[in-house]
Amino acid sequence: MAVVGVHRGSPVRPRGDVVTAPAVTSIGRWRLRSAADVRAALDGIADPEIPNVSIVELGMVGEVDVTGESIRVELLPTFVGCPALEVIRESIRERLADGDPREVRVDVSFATPWSSDRITPSGRAKLRRSGFAPPPPARAGRSLPMLGPRTAAQVAPSDDPSVPCPLCGSNRTTLESPFGPTQCRMIWHCAECRQPFEAFKPI
């Protein structure tokens, strides 16, 4: 903010100063100067279904372009037809447009397919703390989640890794259903703590 004098003559009690908003003349005056700034801002947007994890930690933010006229964000859906997609798009627009006069574009793209390997280490840790089993690393030639081994004891080196229980850490787990509350999750059961839990599918 800038402080400028109201009167040109002798000061009048109280002193005549007024606070005016600065004119936006260059990108240097805006808070979002680079792609890193945009990603840092978007890291504060939580996934609508898992509030403890951000969309950046889930790997849903692809390419980011920042110019003097616009900000473009590539959004990578975890699944086609994700019901939370429009909510996420609107949250991105609101977050980036706050105090910034530039045009904000959020383009949903499948040019770069989302993969569960895009989930960051911090995102995986937060999923586990929230009671969700994070997906194991995706590998070429792996079997589909619904066709893979049903127990950790049956896992072979060439098959999908076991799914440890996020509640107690045991590997004595059994796939109960490949269909969870969303397309990207399935239901497992732990024989150690006797609790069901949701696991993300490796994609």
Question: pLDDT (tens digit, 9 = 90+) per residue, 84-109?
Answer: 899 999 999 999 998 889 999 999 99
* Tokens linked to 108: 């949903």
What was the pLDDT predicted at 37? Answer: 94
What was the pLDDT predicted at 82? Answer: 82
* Tokens linked to 16: 């005549």
* Tokens linked to 165: 């229980």
> How far apart are the C-alpha atoms of 52 and 69, rounded to whole Å?
33
Please determine, for residue 25, whether its predicted confidence score (pLDDT) is greater than 80: no
What was the pLDDT predicted at 192? Answer: 95
Residue 151 is classified by DSSP as: B
Token match 């732990």: residue? 190
> Cis peptide leading into 149, omega within 30 of 0?
no
Please determine, for residue 12, whether its predicted confidence score (pLDDT) is greater than 50: no
Q: Sign of the C-alpha dihedral, residues 109, 115, 116, 119?
A: negative
DSSP H helices, the chain, are 35-42, 85-97, 121-129
Q: Which residues contact 88 (CB under 8 A, 6 or more apart)?
A: 45, 47, 48, 55, 60, 75
Range list for CATH 3.30.300.130 in the chain = 27-108
In this structure, how many other beta carbons lie within 10 angstroms of the beta carbon of residue 66? 20
Q: Which of 175, 168, 127, 177 is nearest to 151 (CA)?
A: 175
pLDDT in tens, 144-194: 444 444 444 444 333 445 799 999 999 999 999 999 988 889 999 999 999
Please determine, for residue 47, whether its predicted confidence score (pLDDT) is greater than 90: yes
State the amino acid at position 156 in one-letter form. A
pLDDT in tens, 50-91: 899 999 999 999 999 999 999 999 999 988 888 889 999 999
Q: What is the dihedral of CA 148, 150, 154, 159, to 10 degrees?
A: 20
What was the pLDDT predicted at 26? Answer: 38
Please determine, for residue 28, whether its predicted confidence score (pLDDT) is greater than 80: no
CATH 3.30.300.130 fits 27-108, yes or no: yes
Which of 8-12, 136-140, 155-159, 185-189 has the weakest average pLDDT? 155-159
How does residue 2 score in pLDDT terms, banded at 50, 70 and 90?
very low
User: For the residues of 42-78, what is the DSSP string, one character each?
Assistant: HTTPBPSS-TTSBTTTTT-EEEEEE-SSEEEEEE--S
> How far apart are the C-alpha atoms of 88 and 77, rounded to whole Å?
10
pTM (2 d.p.): 0.71
Please determine, for residue 143, whether its predicted confidence score (pLDDT) is greater than 70: no
